[in-house]
Amino acid sequence: MTFKAKTLFKAGIASLLLSTAAIAQDDTIKVGVLHSLSGTMAISETTLKDVMLMLIDEQNKKGGINGKMLEAVVVDPASDWPLFAEKARELIEANGVDVVFGCWTSVSRKSVLPVFEELNSILFYPVQYEGEESQKNVFYTGAAPNQQAIPAVDYLMAEEGVERWVLAGTDYVYPRTTNKILEAYLIGKGVAPEDIMINYTPFGHSDWQTIVSDIKTFGSAGKKTAVVSTINGDANVPFYKELGNQGVSAEDIPVVAFSVGEEELAGLDTTPLVGHLAAWNYFMSVDTPENAEFIEKWQTFIGSEERVTNDPMEAHYIGFNMWVKAVEAAGTTDADAVIDALPGIEVPNLTGGTSIMLPNHHITKPVLVGEIQDDGQFDVVWETDGLVEGDAWSDFLPESAVLTSDWVELKCGNYNTETKTCGGASN
Amino acid sequence: MLFLRACLLALLLPMFAAPASAQTQDFDALVTSLPEGSYSARGAVVGAIALTGDPRAEAILTALLDGALGVIETTGQVVILAPAPADALAGTPLTDAEATSAERIRVNNGLRRDIRAALGILTLSDPDPAKRLAAADAAFRAPDAAQYELLDAAFQREENPAVKSRLAEARAVAILDGDFPDAEKREAIDVIADRGDADAQRILTPFAASEDPDIAEAAAAALASIEQSRMLWGQAQNIWYGLSLGSVLLLAAIGLAITFGVMGVINMAHGELVMLGAYTTYAVQETIRQNAPGLFDWSLLIAAPLAFLVAGAVGVAIERGIVRHLYGRALETLLATWGVSLILQQSVRSIFGPNNREVGNPSWMSGSFDVGQMTVTWNRLWILIFALAVFAVLLFVMKRTAVGLQMRAVTQNRPMAASMGIRTNWVDALTFGLGAGIAGLAGVALSQIDNVSPNLGQSYIVDSFMVVVFGGAGNIWGTLAGAFSLGIVNKFLEPYAGAVLAKIIVLVAIILFIQKRPRGLFAVKGRAVEG
């Protein structure tokens, strides 16, 4: 009872603050953009900031939402994880934004979670991540592991007959959790533990000689071998260069990557990479009218025919349209009303389907496996039959298999189906 | 031969969607159907094309493999796009409009394997030995018992020794793949075991668990000897990797050995000077791409002096503008140069954008060659040579030229040097500029193996200081020894401890070492120490 009263009180204060801020600021709806524009992550996140500006600009051309214009508030958390929390607080408290689109790395997301919970605001997170999380104030428009990693491994097992696996990743929370899930999944599928090699490298690792040579040795045990790569950021470029130089071709040992998209390939001579794979929920090469329109708008907005589109950009496109629809439906930008309105909202995605916001704050997405072509684009070689529902808690880890997330019926992000209790306040 | 073709066709037919039998399908129809259907269906078409034995097949399949086969959507005409655009079937040249309207036919991994196998069938009797070698290679990589007779026939008539031995191996894997008498299999195992490399290990491993004790024993014995030689080669490989990592560390640190080691300036912007060198390389390559593509292989040689000048000029500007006002105040120098590093990073980000820039490898820096069972990549080898050359030149400048003498004199005893008529201000600027210029040279080399992004420098600054401190500040030879020993230790630890832990262990070891020998490996002795 007291708990409920407290939340209500908090929400009341928050909405009061928000509404006063909104009145003070000329009656526009403020949209926060929390992406690094400097530091290591700038390479990936700057594009997402630009996409948000484009989407907001476009919505304003259509007359805004409910008669109010949108106004973007851009801050630069400079790839500095604690600064993300500070900047999030600044956006919500000082600038009075109604929603924030932002973050890339999981560690930056973890850093802002308490802020969004405390100030009861909304965050749209556009990047594929490790799952094992569902928070009331966060909407995950990127892929959960069952929407990227698991189907990709299925493809390699079924189509390429892979029996031996190298799980290579950068040393932080996303690769470690994803690899834990994948290892459990593979062992469940009957892969022997000695047929799995796990390897971690630091951020920005550039000397891949030893690891590539280890992969070659591991691959010479008489079984078809593949590398599942959760290597993040620019460490990928020297990794693929070394693969090419040491003569590891995709026909011998294919590499399927979860963090390499069109944007990463733009800084790379792709000839030695042809045939290596990536699993995403969107590729720029997907041939649909929606996608063609999106690409044209993007290239006009950014003023260059050279610029590519990628998966997290599509996630922002979906997330932003979902938020617009929810605000229209709720008739207000009040956080609680919008959070309640979001589950069940349907918007078209760019691959020809319709994505739905699920009660666990994840969305439905198709899963595509593409091969790198020599023009830096991906050619889709396999896709799931329909859309896959994002699963917040992996079924392949014993500790999370019993958990489920439902913010509509159960009002809980980590409901334990065995003990029939909600596990805790958040996460 | 005929029997084999029939067999292959029987295999292909179910996959092949057309109702009519493949034999009656003429070559043209097969080629025209290449752009359509799933990858596996097209793989079957590729196989059927090879079996027709048509003289045009090889050129068409090679073009498909290279991504140079296209289709004109409106007419369905299949065309070869490179080198000279022409109709694939008739061989008539295309007009420019036709050539630009053609869409490339896409290929995937599986299809590429099919094409290579098909090309192998076609080129086993090619007059060019290089092509026969490639065909034997393709057969070796995709073992197929059905190809045994073809391979055997090719093996019997082959006269070129290199091709013959490769064919023998290809024939052996075909034997191991199929249902052949045990004696032949034993022989095949011996042939493969003679290779003694990773491929042999991959092929033989399953036979060590064979039900036939003879075969299992032969395979196990072969594997044991392969394992042993691979262990030895593994050590050699580790030393090579260590030298190569050491050369990168040396390049990154050698400029710092001048500015920090000789002058005593803690230059936090050192990494950014390296980055400027890398961006200079990028700018040179872009100019060459646009104006003189033929010079591309020379781009690094052109970029090197320019990078030296650009980074050197920035270095002189930093020295004249900031550092000279702060001599003797280490902490302030550190903060000021760190600020400079941020300014340089952000200006590069504003000019070139935050994204990585593509710097290509010239052809002489791509690929690798084998020494025994060791793979040596050309780019690493050239970087090692380059690092040693830069080191030698620097050593010469410092020890054998008048400028070098003045530099050493000024840093060791400024008042004395000044009273001998040396313009110490200019020597300071020159020394700093030299260190910065060498950092620029390092950038040219690092652009070949790392990302060219505004953050390039950050990842090397800590390593550089580590090398200089470990080697002994003020001693250029110490930097050389420090770089190579850190590189080799790191690479020997990496297979056991993993890349992350190896780095930590090395760092801790250096800290302990510095406790014992505060002046590093090769401490400068005598009165110069106080200077």
Q: What is the least distance, in Å, from the CA of A323 to any CA of chain B?
A: 29
Max mean pLDDT range (A111-120, B38-47, B152-161, B215-224): A111-120
DSSP class of residue A208? Answer: -
- Per the prediction, chain B carries an average pLDDT of 84
**Cross-chain CB nearest to B449 (options A206, A247, A269):** A206
Model confidence pLDDT, tens digit, residues B129-159: 888 888 888 878 777 777 787 788 888 888 8
B45: phi then psi, degrees, rounded to nearest 5: -60, -40
Q: What is the pLDDT of residue B347?
A: 92
Kind plus residue range of the DSSP H or E element containing B276: helix B270-291
CA A318 to each of CA A363, A389, B335, B341: distance values in angstroms, whole numbers, following the listed order: 9, 15, 45, 39
Q: Is B122's pLDDT higher than 90? A: no
Closest CA to A278 of A196, A203, A382: A382
- Please indicate whether, in this complex, the C-beta atoms of A246 and B110 are within 8 angstroms of each other: no
B206 touches chain A (CB under 8 A): yes
Contacts of B500 in chain A (CB under 8 A): 171, 200-202
Q: Are β-strands A70-75 and A29-34 bridged in parallel, bridged antiparallel, or unpaired?
A: parallel
Task: Choose from B204, B373, B375 for mutation: most chain A CBs within 10 A.
Answer: B375
Chain Cα centroid distance, residue A329:
25
Tokens, residue A11: 């929400």
Model confidence pLDDT, tens digit, residues B367-409: 888 887 788 889 899 999 999 999 999 999 989 999 999 988 8
- Global confidence as pTM: 0.78
Q: What is the least distance, in Å, from the CA of B237 to any CA of chain A?
A: 9
Residue B23 — very low, low, confident or very high, per pLDDT cuts 50/70/90?
very low
Model confidence pLDDT, tens digit, residues B442-487: 999 999 888 888 888 888 898 899 999 898 877 889 999 999 999 9
Q: Is the peptide bond preceding residue B83 cis, with omega within 30 degrees of 0?
A: yes
Q: What is the least distance, in Å, from the CA of B6 to any CA of chain A?
A: 27
Contacts of A247 in chain B (CB under 8 A): 367-368, 375
Residue position matching structure tokens 């052809």: B363
Q: What is the pLDDT of residue A7?
A: 52
Q: Please state the CATH superfamily assignment of the domain spanning residues A149-257 in this structure.
A: Response regulator (3.40.50.2300)
Q: What is the pLDDT of residue A10?
A: 53
- Map out the domains of chain A as residue ranges: 2-144+287-367, 149-257
**Cross-chain CB nearest to B354 (options A46, A199, A274):** A46
Tokens, residue A234: 């620019």
Task: Choose from A245, A286, A368 for mutation: most chain B CBs within 10 A.
Answer: A245
Residue B318 — very low, low, confident or very high, per pLDDT cuts 50/70/90?
very high
DSSP code string of B90-159: T-PBPPHHHHHHEEEPP--HHHHHHHHHHHHHHHTT-S-HHHHHHHHHHHHHS--GGGHHHHHHHHHH--
Which amino acid is residue B196, in one-letter code? G
Set out the domains of chain B in order of their start, with CATH numbers.
2-200 (no CATH), 234-530 (1.10.3470)
Contacts of residue A30, defined as CB under 8 A and 6 or more positions apart, other chains included, come to: A22, A70, A71, A72, A73, A95, A96, A97, A98
Which residues of B, range 311-340, sit inside 8 Å of A by Cβ? none
Q: What is the least distance, in Å, from the CA of B525 to any CA of chain A?
A: 35
Do A2-144+287-367 and A149-257 share a fold?
Answer: yes
**SS3 annotation, B151-191:** HHHHHHHCCCHHHHHHHHHHHHHHHHHCCCCHHHHHHHHHH
**Cross-chain CB nearest to B367 (options A39, A245, A250):** A245
d(CA A69, CA A151): 41
SS3 B79: strand
Do residues B249 and B463 make contact, with C-beta atoms less than 8 angstroms apart? yes
d(CA A328, CA A340): 13
DSSP class of residue A207? Answer: -
CA B362 to each of CA B281, B298, B299, B301, B502: distance values in angstroms, whole numbers, following the listed order: 12, 8, 8, 10, 32
Q: Is B37's pLDDT higher than 70? A: yes
Which fold, A2-144+287-367?
Rossmann fold (3.40.50)
- Please indicate whether, in this complex, the C-beta atoms of B110 and A159 are within 8 angstroms of each other: yes
Residue B8 — very low, low, confident or very high, per pLDDT cuts 50/70/90?
very low
Nearest Cα residue in chain B from A220: B202
For chain A, the maximum distance between any two Cα atoms, rounded to a whole number of angstroms, is: 70
Contacts of A264 in chain B (CB under 8 A): 356
**Cross-chain CB nearest to A205 (options B241, B360, B499):** B499
Contacts of B366 in chain A (CB under 8 A): 244-245
Contacts of B349 in chain A (CB under 8 A): 38, 42
Per-residue pLDDT averaged across B499-506, rounded? 87
- The angle that helices B182-195 and B161-177 make with each other, rounded to 10 degrees, is 130
**Neighbouring C-beta atoms of residue A262, cutoff 10 Å:** 23
Which is higher by pLDDT, B196 or A412?
A: A412
CA B179 to each of CA B188, B272, B317: distance values in angstroms, whole numbers, following the listed order: 13, 63, 76
**Cross-chain CB nearest to B356 (options A37, A242, A267):** A267
Q: Which residues of chain A have pLDDT under 70?
A: 1-26, 267, 424-427
d(CA A133, CA A131): 5
Which is higher by pLDDT, B352 or B6?
A: B352
Do residues B226 and B204 make contact, with C-beta atoms less than 8 angstroms apart? yes
Model confidence pLDDT, tens digit, residues A194-235: 999 999 998 878 889 889 988 988 888 778 899 999 988 778
Sheet holding A412-416, edge to edge: A403-406, A412-416, A421-422
Per-residue pLDDT averaged across B191-201, rounded? 81
Tell me: ipTM over 0.85.
no
Cβ contacts below 8 Å, chain A against chain B, sum to 143
Q: What is the least distance, in Å, from the CA of A167 to any CA of chain B?
A: 13
d(CA B33, CA B19): 14
Contacts of A278 in chain B (CB under 8 A): none
Model confidence pLDDT, tens digit, residues B58-99: 888 888 888 788 888 888 888 888 778 888 888 888 888 888
**Cross-chain CB nearest to A379 (options B108, B198, B346):** B108
Q: What is the least distance, in Å, from the CA of A223 to any CA of chain B?
A: 7
A165: phi then psi, degrees, rounded to nearest 5: -130, 135
Q: What is the pLDDT of residue B195?
A: 81
Length of chain B: 531
Do residues B78 and B63 make contact, with C-beta atoms less than 8 angstroms apart? no
Contacts of B204 in chain A (CB under 8 A): 222
**Neighbouring C-beta atoms of residue B325, cutoff 10 Å:** 11
Q: What is the pLDDT of residue B528?
A: 52
